[in-house]
Amino acid sequence: MKKAHSFAALAAALVVLCCGASATAAPRSAMAPPERTVTTRHSIAINGEAISYTATAGTVLLRGERHEPIASVFYVAYTKEGATPLTRAVTFCYNGGPGSSTIWLHMGSIGPKRVVTPDAQAAGAAPFALVDNPYSLLDKTDLVFVDAVGTGFSRLVGKASGKSFWGVDEDVRAFGQFIERYVTRYGRWNSPKFLFGESYGTTRSANLVNYLQNRGMTFNGVVLVSTVLNFATLIPQNGNDLP
């Protein structure tokens, strides 16, 4: 993709098409689409450091027990140019819901661009502005934002059904397969690796790190944001004031 195809256009498309996508509304592809990637190059200043990075929007096919394609998972990765994979960390980021795309962490929290919103009041109508995000974690780690199957641009394909993904263990297997495929494709098995989950994504992380470590992939850390590990803390009854 030519540099003239700006990051702003990509991000605006993500805001319009990913935000608010639900697991039940996502259409499926009758046939498995090819895996695709589109890359652009950018730079940002974080904590006084100029960082050149590559943005990659892509898809990874997940496969079932008979190696048949069952889902196309969409991700956006930001990788620092010139970094050594042996020492450069990679962090897999996702929101929760369950049933939420990862637009919130991506464009509202730790990605290299963020949508400008007013403080303590509702945002107005479009057009929306994008600016560099000085609070991005890109100075410390490469970032891979992953949409759960049925959210954002991640879709069921072939003869797969939602019950293969929309459960606690099913969700973890899908994310585990994606991460295994990603680190294999991009040669990141020996990189320091982290999981970064928000809300239900913290529940996912607790299960996912155990799942992947039992399959031979070790992690250097897990980040839990808006932690939900005990769901009783969300139910305001019987004098429970934790919510």
Query: For residue 33, what pLDDT is reported?
Result: 84
Do the bridges between strand 69-80 and strand 141-146 make them parallel or antiparallel, or are there none, so unpaired?
antiparallel
User: How is residue 81 written in tokens?
Assistant: 């140019």
Architecture of domain 7-116+127-234: 3-Layer(aba) Sandwich (3.40)
Q: pTM score, two decimals?
A: 0.84
Query: For residue 138, what pLDDT is reported?
Result: 97
End-to-end CA distance of the chain: 46
Residue with tokens 């962090």: 91
Query: For residue 27, what pLDDT is reported?
Result: 54
Query: For residue 201, what pLDDT is reported?
Result: 96
Q: What ranges in the chain are assigned the alpha helix state H?
A: 7-18, 103-105, 168-185, 200-214
| b/e sequence 135-170, b meaning 16+ C-beta within 10 Å | ebbbeebbbbbbbbbbbbbbbbbbebeeebbbeeee
Query: For residue 22, what pLDDT is reported?
Result: 38
Cβ atoms < 10 Å from Cβ of 197: 28
Rounded Cα distance, 7 and 105, in Å? 17
Query: For residue 17, what pLDDT is reported?
Result: 34
The full set of domain ranges for the chain reads 7-116+127-234
Rounded Cα distance, 85 and 191, in Å? 6
Mean pLDDT by 10 residues, the chain (243 residues): 38 40 46 89 96 97 91 97 95 92 95 91 89 96 97 91 88 97 97 97 96 97 92 80 76
